[in-house]
Amino acid sequence: MRSADTLFERVWSVVAKVPRGKVTTYGAIARALGSPGAARTVGWAMRAAPARSKLPCHRVVNATGELSPEDVFGGPDVQRSLLESEGVTFDMQGHVDMKRHLWIP
DNA sequence: GCCGTGACGATTC
DNA sequence: CGAATCGCCACGG
């Protein structure tokens, strides 16, 4: 059917729909796709995602609102800046304010 | 069809 | 809060 063969493409599709100023979690995406336990696979999709794509992967964080590890993006500082630039707020721990910006497809 | 791997999640100490 | 552990699922070889 219209769904992509692999979860990867479906994940990218969902991430691409994330509105500006909002963030989503890997678990939320996996859940929306029908695989609540495939959070890891979602993260893997980001890892394998084509960098040239328009995927706002910086809007994807983990369930705790934590940003990506330093091995990606070039540093969580970059991700934080991007999100703040879009109107996302953070708490004292440097985590995203999920109560305000958590978005689910 | 098994094995290894991983930008996760939740629990526990 | 920090670190460690187990469980989960999907893809590639």
Profile chain A (105 residues) by mean pLDDT over runs of 10 residues: 81 95 96 93 90 87 91 85 95 92 94
pLDDT confidence of residue A1: 62
- The pLDDT value given to residue A18: 96
Question: Is residue A96 helix, strand or coil?
Answer: strand
Amino acid A3: pLDDT: 67
| pLDDT in the model for residue A100 | 94
| Burial A25-60, CB ≥16 within 10 A → b, else e | bbbbbbbbbeeeebbebbbebbeebeeeeebbbbbb
- What distance separates the 2 farthest-apart alpha carbons in chain A? 45
Q: Looking at strand C, which nucleotides approach a protein CB closer than 7 A? A: 1-2, 7-12
Tokens standing for residue A85: 């630039």
Predicted pLDDT at A27: 95
Per annotation, catalytic residue among A33, A57, A61, A67: A57
